Structure formats: structure tokens, C-alpha cells
Amino acid sequence: MTSSFRSSSSSRYGFAFYSCRYGKNKLQQTLVCCYKSNLQSSALIGKTCSFLPSYSQSSFSSSTRKSQPQENDATARTLHMQVTSTEELKKAVGYKAVDDHIQSGMVVGLGTGSTAYYAVERLGQKIKNGQVVDIVAIPTSTKTEQQAKSWGIPLVTLDTHPALDVAIDGADEVDSQLNLVKGRGGALLREKMVEVEARKLVIIVDESKLVSGLGITGAMPVEVTPFCWKRTMRRLLDIEAFQGCQVSAKLRQENDQIYITDNHNYIVDLFFQKPIPDLMLAARQLIDIVGVVEHGLFLNMADICIVSGKDGIRVIEKK
């Protein structure tokens, strides 16, 4: 394990970055820690602290702040900087993704969902404040499009801008290889169309989304045509790749009505009692079914995953 440290004379805090490469999956995990600049760096070895965002802590609600720590109490200072609510953790990773990966002149893909919401918000703030310029963005849903317009973010389409510099989005499940389940928010088709064209896909999640195998925490969505959807759903249950997974299927509804996607299709949610063993085979067999428009397996697409948790933020990069 290697470590490096930096501190600024204009700040009372510095950062410690611990990096390690592990296993055959060639993932590099970075733990981001904060510490008092006047402490010995060796005091932090083996400890994980919370991420100190590059933006002002005043952007979080004051209800999460701890009582003022003692001047020489590094542990208390770390707790002081922590964010504890689910929404604040989502906000932290959404803001960090934009701060770290979006620069002036980029074409950006804007994801959909409760975590991606904060990435759109942060980008809108930075455009409004003039911190980034000459940005255009492609939204992955009508909901994201409306939010982006409310911030004055210039929008384009894949027809005019077929190559993206970066896309930022959430995920429903993330495995150790950064394979994903996405689409429980209903935007899987547009998300995949946009994000497959991005040079870099940054995923932002909380630690509850990290899984040992895909398909076990909830629905794996499949977008299907309304025409003969029952026939398509029966075919989904017969897929060879799902044998042994104890799969079941349900047509998605909302407010006692069939859920309609932005593309005027239906969604069949698949549920598994055991993880999908062969993801690539499953992806091929899903898309081969006539009537399937797209599925929620996003394989070999993510490059970086920013993960929030009660102890702070960590970054996982695929190598």
C-alpha cells in the first residue's frame, strides 16, 4: 500500500490518499481522508475518515453538524465534517462527481434518479456562477431534462453530439467489476443510449448499492413493447442464463396504472432469489428476445464509482 499527503498553508486541513490494487479484477480503491495539517501523518495510517468536500460545508443543512470540537482533537474534527443523512450523502457524491470530472468545453451526459439529481444541481450552480463555460449536456429522461432547463443548462441530443466526454449517473446495484443494474427509476433505455457513448462513465451511489452479485436486492428492469407484452414476459422467464436463479416477473405499475416509459413502452421487472451467474450470457439472451427494447444490465461500461457511506467517501476506479 502506498500513501501520499498534501496540505495547504492557507487551510487548517490537508488530505491523505491511500491507494491499493487488489485481486484479479484490477480495481484500484482510493480512500479519501481528512486530517489536521499540524498532526503527524503517521497517526492516520489505517484509519478512514470522512471526505472533506471542495465546496462549502454550508451547502449541507446545519442539523447534521456536531458540536464544535477541541482545537487539537482530530477525531472530533473528522466527525464534525461528516454528513449523516441519506440525502446529504447523495449530495456529497453528486457534487464531488461534477467537481472532479466536468470541465469547461465538455459534452456531458446527465443521469436520472435521486442521486443524479444532485449532479445536475451542482452542474447548474457551476454554470450559473461561471465556474465552467461552453458546456452542453444530454439528459437521459424528461424529468432530468426539466431539471436541467430550470438551471439554464444548455441541452443537445446524440444526433448533433454523438460523442460525450463524460456521463454521471446513479445505479441500483454495483458489483466488484463495476457491472451495474440500472433502470429502477424507469429511464434505462435513454441512460444506456447516452452513457454507452461517453468516454468516461462516473457512477455515484451509497454503499448499500455494492453487491457480491447482480440481481439480488430488487428489480432488474426490462423495457418491452406494449404489443403482446405478456408473451414477451413469458419468454423472459425461460432464459437459459436465469436457470437456478429462481426468477419471477411482474409488469411495473404506478398509481394502479401500467407504468409508461418516456419512450411509451412498458417495463417488466425481474426478481431473482440468487445472483445472475453469467452476466454476459444473460445480456445477450435478453436482447435477443423479440419484443425486448432494452434491459437494465450495464456491463463493462462504468469507469469510476464514487461511493458514500457513514465513514465518508471512497472512489473505485476500473483499470
Catalytic residues: 191
d(C-alpha 87, C-alpha 258), whole Å: 29
- Measured CA to CA, the distance from residue 121 to residue 135 in angstroms comes to 14
* Contacts of 67-73 spanning 24+ positions with Cβ under 8 A: 72/36
**What DSSP state is assigned to residue 58?**
G
CB 143 within 8 A of CB 153: no
Q: Give 82-148 as a DSSP string.
A: ---SHHHHHHHHHHHHHHHH--TT-EEEE--STTHHHHHHHHHHHHHTTSS-S-EEEESSHHHHHHH
| Separation of CA 318 from chain center | 14
Beta bridge partners of 248: 271
Chain center to CA of 129: 25
Residue length of the chain: 319
Residue type, 41: S
Query: How far apart, in Å, are the Cα atoms of 274 and each of 9, 176, 214, 286?
Result: 53, 17, 9, 18
Nearest Cα residue to 167 out of 207, 125, 197, 142: 197
CA 290 to chain CA centroid, Å, is 30
